[in-house]
């Protein structure tokens, strides 16, 4: 298991000088009972565009996968290796979606991989540690630390076939079709 993500938030003090207002793990870090190797750390969100740069921290209000209307959400997810049994893997991924991302358009019936889903957002996905496979309807590609994927509202899933926990950062920007 990887260490918790350290979230450092800046602001302006009463004296008008820039300062650090928060430093530590996200207050919105979530794991599932019986699935401590899968961890979602929601780090920040913005509401509306342009956003208020000095808006209060509202990450504890965030629910689901999608960003707020006209806003963004920034999260880091630790994804454990897949179970070799496809049925066990499917059930594990479906439990994650039920608990954390019920708003995702999740299509398990016609899926090429467990967790295939669609969001009305542009997502910047950056692999920070390990290796993941980005799975689309017609293609897939292996991503390693430092690789970036720009996901533009397409149906997709993430597969960890590496045997080790992988960490990926996501910035989701609300979009429309």
Q: Tell me, what's the pLDDT at 155?
A: 93
The two structure tokens encoding residue 126: 């950056």
DSSP-derived letter for residue 27 is T
Comparing CA positions, the residue from 54, 166, 66, 162 lying closest to residue 121 is 66
The domain segmentation of the chain, as residue ranges, is 26-174
Spell out where 6-62 has E strands: 6-12, 18-25, 28-32, 35-46
Q: Is the pTM of this model over 0.85?
A: yes
Comparing CA positions, the residue from 41, 66, 173 lying closest to residue 119 is 66
Q: Return the bridge partners of 133, or none.
A: 142, 159
User: Rounded distance, CA 132 to CA 142, Å?
Assistant: 6
Q: Tell me, what's the pLDDT at 108?
A: 66
Please write the tens of the pLDDT for every residue from 38-89.
999 999 999 999 999 999 999 999 999 999 999 999 999 999 999 999 889 8
User: Rounded distance, CA 162 to CA 24, Å?
Assistant: 29
* Segments of the chain with pLDDT less than 70: 107-109
Size of the chain in residues = 177
The two structure tokens encoding residue 110: 């016609």
Q: Tell me, what's the pLDDT at 109?
A: 67
Q: Are 170 and 5 in contact (CB under 8 A)?
A: no
User: Rounded distance, CA 45 to CA 92, Å?
Assistant: 27
Check: CATH 2.60.120.10 for 26-174?
yes
Q: Are 43 and 75 in contact (CB under 8 A)?
A: yes
């Amino acid at each position: 298991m990887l260490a918790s993500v350290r979230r450092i938030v800046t602001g302006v003090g009463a004296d008008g000088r820039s300062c650090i207002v928060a430093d530590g793990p996200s207050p919105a870090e979530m794991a599932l009972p019986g699935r401590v190797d899968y961890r979602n750390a929601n780090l920040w969100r913005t509401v509306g565009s342009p956003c208020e740069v000095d808006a209060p921290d509202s990450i504890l209000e965030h629910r689901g996968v999608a960003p707020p209307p006209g806003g963004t959400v920034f999260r880091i997810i630790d994804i454990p290796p897949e179970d070799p049994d496809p049925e066990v893997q499917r059930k594990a991924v479906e439990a994650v979606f039920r608990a954390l991302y019920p708003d995702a358009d999740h299509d398990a019936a016609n899926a090429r991989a467990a967790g295939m889903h669609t969001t009305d957002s542009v997502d910047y996905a950056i692999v920070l540690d390990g290796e993941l496979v980005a799975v689309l309807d017609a293609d897939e590609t292996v991503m390693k630390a430092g690789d970036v994927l720009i996901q533009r509202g397409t149906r997709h899933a993430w597969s960890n076939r590496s045997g080790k926990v992988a960490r990926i950062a996501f910035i989701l920007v609300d979009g429309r079709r």
